[in-house]
Amino acid sequence: MEGIEGERSEGSRYALKPTRISNEDILLCVDVDAESLVEMKSTGPNGRPLTRLDSIKQAILLFINAKLSINPEHRFAFASLSKSASWRAHVRYLYCILVIFQIKEEQREEEIGKGKMLLLLKLVSSFWVAVLVEIPALLSALLIGGKNASMDIISDPEIFWVPSIMKLRKDFSSEVECAIAALRGLAATSSCGPADLTSLFRVAAHEAKKSRAQNRIFRVILIYCRSSAKPQHQWPVNQKLFTLDVLYLHDKPGPDNCPQEVYDALVDALEHVSEYEGYIHESGQGLARVLFRHMCVLLSHPQQRCPQEYVDIPKSLTKKTPTPESMPAEDSIPVSSQ
């Protein structure tokens, strides 16, 4: 805030210094330990129980769509956490797929032409597939939209990857399709024990410097699922280049786990590395709606946050006290005459 002109005189005025709210680069790091496969209390559309990882993926897509609705200039990337963190590369252009259809032998002479077709099919926005097809005219009609073709003349396709023309993206993207592709590749591993967050912080610090050069800020959202393995890190206390938020999903306390100790370690890590106010939320209830609610709170921009202890949203409707204006006066309280 700018200085005051005059000290509490009539001519004093306050002026708020203009501040630019930077666009965000957000790295979402998902724990893929075996505990991410613990079932939630919710079920999917087919009645199958949702795992923590299923709910996390849904919450991330909710977050990204909402964040882009607020500002389409925000960008996202993904990492997974097992023993340490690693980038999740997502395929941006699928120019690398060659599909050769094997024709059923008994129909080769009667129905099949000798020509080949190279089709470039746009599946969704920004995703393309190069298809090399050796097929009859009948199947060609199907691929370009014909209605009378039959797939009976082919067996399963063979897919060949050509790495030299495949473009993998580890950089940040504002495209929801890229996020969907990256999340599809997230799968749980075996039990990993304690997680080392040092590599995650190292990647975040490196990327944060690149974000700053573009007048952007960097944030990491860590979603952690281990109830008995405290995270570790080795990071200098004076190097705060990014903001860390944490969502912690855990089991109830028991003889085989220590969620309170894990939570305390996550709080220490957050306070150790965060440039702006970082938020941490936890849940041991196994309810997807609680996860979604916490994820919605993380929509708040780090440069516009109050300390977490002052955050009182979302409010519970059952706990809201009525305002004095809405409370009935004593003389207006209906009294039964019976």
Residue with tokens 């470039």: 120
User: Which tops the pLDDT comparison, 228 or 103?
Assistant: 228
Alpha helices in 94-247 (DSSP H): 108-111, 137-143, 176-184, 198-213
194 phi, psi to nearest 5 deg: -60, 140
- SS3 at position 130: strand
- Cβ atoms of 2 and 51 closer than 8 Å: no
CA distance 229 to 161: 39
Lowest mean pLDDT, pick from 17-31, 182-196, 199-213, 267-281: 182-196
13 phi, psi to nearest 5 deg: -145, 150
Global pTM value: 0.67
Positive or negative: CA dihedral 323, 325, 331, 332 = negative
Question: What pLDDT is recorded for position 69?
Answer: 96
Instruction: Label residue 189 by pLDDT band (50, 70, 90).
Output: confident
| Strands 216-224 and 243-249, bridge-based pairing | parallel
Which residues face 30 on adjacent strands?
A: 80, 223
CA distance 125 to 9: 61
Query: What is the arithmetic mean of pLDDT over 42-52?
Result: 85
Question: What pLDDT is recorded for position 43?
Answer: 82
Question: What pLDDT is recorded for position 172?
Answer: 87
Question: What pLDDT is recorded for position 241?
Answer: 95
- SS3 at position 303: helix
Question: What pLDDT is recorded for position 20?
Answer: 84
Query: What is the arithmetic mean of pLDDT over 2-10?
Result: 42
Tokens at residue 61, please? Answer: 């897509």
CA distance 48 to 40: 11
CA distance 78 to 62: 15
- pLDDT tens digit string along 149-180? 333 433 333 333 322 222 334 578 899 988 99
Q: How many residues comprise the chain?
A: 338
CA distance 120 to 102: 19
CA distance 80 to 86: 6
CA distance 5 to 86: 53
Tokens at residue 112, please? Answer: 């099949």
Percent of the chain residues past pLDDT 90, beyond the cut: 45
Query: Tell me, what amino acid is at 289?
Result: R
Strand runs labelled E in 37-110: 39-43, 49-51, 75-81, 85-87, 90-93, 97-100
- Cβ atoms of 242 and 208 closer than 8 Å: yes
All domains of the chain, ordered by start, with CATH? 23-90+171-305 (3.40.50.410), 95-165 (no CATH)
Which residues face 127 on adjacent strands?
A: 124
